[in-house]
Amino acid sequence: MDIDGFIKKVEAEIEDLEPGTLTADKDYREIEQWSSMYALILIAMIDTEYGVTLTGEDLKKTYTLRDLYHTIQSKL
Amino acid sequence: MSRFSVPNIKISGIAACVPKDKESNTDYDWITEKEQNLLIKTTGIEERRIARKGTTTSDLCYAATEKLLRELNWNKEEIGILIFVSQSRDYFLPATAIILQDRLQLTPTTIAFDISLGCSGYVYGLSVISSLMQTTQTKKALLMAGDISSTSLNKRDKSTYPLFGDAGTVTALELTTENQHMDFDLKSDGSGYEAIIIPDGGLRNPITPDSFVEREIEKGIWRCNRDLKLDGLAVFNFSITKVHPQIEHLLSESGKETTDINYFVFHQANKLILETIRKKLKIEPEQVPYSLLKYGNTSSASIPLTIVTELKNEVETQKLSMLFCGFGVGLSWGTVILELDKIKCPEIIEFS
């Protein structure tokens, strides 16, 4: 897995988001479309794509997509 | 020991009853239109049935039972057990099943009691009723399962209100010599009891005026302690880590592959959870029917309701290998593998 591929997968999950909009250091909760529903959507995507199940606690400790990426990597 | 098999019991019929009144999530104006669209796309829930004030779960189960018994042409005197699985009973006491024994005019020799379970309740109910039939050699029995959840929801709580619908069901079971058996695996984890909870109203937290004070928990989520609280992340995590290992284990213990099962009927939690589980099990979309779209999460009614609304023709005309799996409030989860052989399955009933 690489971070660019991960960001593309996140972008694909978010409604009405142009590809290439997100960066690794983006605070994902500040994405305009963000709502609590996306926490579940991201956990589902990460589980299906990487076989890693993140908890609510894991999410709370992350801010940027890079944090999220590192958390996934640490659990691979 | 959480895994066991009950021989010589078959399901003869399933019926379901829902309130006539519909509520659409496209009319749920507590959230924006964009949020409505995301909600419907993610949860798969477009519409729910809502009971009118005064209608109880037992009213829905009663209507379903009268219809099914007519179709089965059963003599009521032959029915020896009635179990009512619900978390929305008629009274604190007595048990609703006993009231239903009299309302249905079953004989006083009927064994009747309630089981207080939600999402996993149908599978647990099947395990209890089949075991009891086997022990007592009772020829015919009724398992009712359902909930009226809408009365416990706060309209200003977007994390619960648009998800749940009301429904009542009945399943008729018989002793059989046809070599049918049910293989069960049942589990519990009470450490997660707060994930889905109505905090006030029992003995732990008796009702006080404060029980009715609504508070803002986070943006878009207001509720009081008499309302249903759902920790979406905790439930999601539980569902996608505990359910598929149980299913894989039971399949392997039963000497079956996923391709040997015609239909996997899951508790209708939400589409995101069920699709994640489906992908983990590597089963085809055609093997996983959904009643979520029109009825939402209907608690312990969801498995039999899905059979009635999505598989009526199949279960009436074919011999099918089925896997049912319920999971949620408790936390509690259970799976059963069984056969359905041309059962009675009347059209869904609407209660007004």
Q: What is the ipTM of this complex?
A: 0.89
Contact A43 B236 (CB under 8 A): yes
Greatest C-alpha distance within chain B: 58
Transcribe B58-127 into DSSP letters: HHHHHHHHHHHHHHHT--GGGEEEEEEE-SS-SSSSS-HHHHHHHHTT--TT-EEEEE--STTHHHHHHH
Q: Which CATH superfamily is domain B1-352 in?
A: Thiolase/Chalcone synthase (3.40.47.10)
Computed over every residue of chain B, the mean pLDDT equals 96
Which of A41, A55, A56 has the CB atom closest to B42's CB atom?
A: A41
Between CA A34 and CA B332 the distance in angstroms is 31
pLDDT given for residue B95 in this prediction: 98
pLDDT given for residue A15 in this prediction: 86
**Probe site for chain B from A16, A17, A36 (most B CB atoms < 10 A):** A36
Which structure tokens are listed for B268? 């209708």
CB B212 within 8 A of CB B198: no
What's the rounded mean pLDDT across residues B36-51?
Answer: 96
The yes-or-no verdict on residue B1 having pLDDT over 60 is no
Between CA B170 and CA B39 the distance in angstroms is 30
Q: Note if the bond before B94 is cis, omega within 30 degrees.
A: yes
B297: DSSP letter: B
Q: Is B351 exposed, middle or buried (0-12, 13-18, 19+ CB in 10 A)?
A: buried
The yes-or-no verdict on residue B180 having pLDDT over 90 is no
Contact B34 A33 (CB under 8 A): yes
Per domain, the residue ranges of chain A are 3-63
Which of A35, A44, A55 has the CB atom closest to B272's CB atom?
A: A44
What's the rounded mean pLDDT across residues B261-284?
Answer: 96
Per domain, the residue ranges of chain B are 1-352
Between CA B123 and CA B128 the distance in angstroms is 9
Tens-digit pLDDT profile for chain A (76 aa)? 789 999 999 989 998 888 888 888 988 888 888 888 899 999 999 999 999 999 888 988 999 999 999 999 999 8
CB B51 within 8 A of CB B19: yes
Contact B240 A53 (CB under 8 A): yes
Torsion of CA B275, B280, B284, B287, to 10 degrees: -70
Between CA B352 and CA B349 the distance in angstroms is 10
What's the rounded mean pLDDT across residues B29-35?
Answer: 92
Give the gap in angstroms from C-alpha B344 to the nearest C-alpha of chain A: 37
